Amino acid sequence: MVMETYLVYLAAVAVFFATPPDTSQLLIISNSIRHGLRKSAYTIAGDLTANCLQMTGAAFGLAAIIATSADVFIWVKWLGVAYLVWIGLQLIIAKEHTEDVEANTSGQAFRLFRQGFVTSMANPFAVVFFGALFPQFIDPASPVLPQLFILGMTYIVVDGAILLLWGWAGIKATTALKRVSFGVVNKVCGCLMIAAAALLATKDFQPQR
């Protein structure tokens, strides 16, 4: 892969992320507000792990299967929507004095990781996205796997940095929440979760014929 091609790919990825926060980013903002940026890193790790699996699936032709048979995978999206709504409603209806019962346990780390992983995996369209993006920057005259690795790792690094920035921005923009009750924080974060579910629900899928 020549440097010019790589720079064009880097620019394309940067343009892709120059949008309002999506499902995963809203989740990161919510968890950063509730738990702080350091703990929300578990959610980021879950999200990026799912991205790695989606890239692998795209590399092995899963994108073509999804693109021609939406019915096989569309239920995954709605499970993700239900999962996010469930989390959001739990936070909204939580009692005013309720705090995170897992705040000092390793169970919280797994739970935050799971949220990021499930939310990202609930978007089967990501596999189609990777399947459409990578071939445009692959040189068929060179070994393909090293190029896929470079493209994939570049995406992961950029995505991880963007998620960290959204988490940091969420904390800075809602500093006032730290001075109000824990119940208000829960309700704000719950609304963010439901907004993320709404974004995922509105993503339409048109299979190729």
pLDDT bin (cut points 50, 70, 90) of residue 117 is very high
pLDDT bin (cut points 50, 70, 90) of residue 119 is confident
The residue ranges of every structural domain in the chain are 22-202
Question: In the predicted model, is pLDDT for residue 66 greater than 60?
Answer: no
Q: Tell me the backbone φ, ψ of residue 19, rounded to 5 degrees.
A: -135, 165
pLDDT at residue 175, rounded to an integer: 65
pTM of the model: 0.77
What is the pLDDT averaged over residues 85-103?
66
Check residues 98 and 13 and name the one with the higher pLDDT: 13
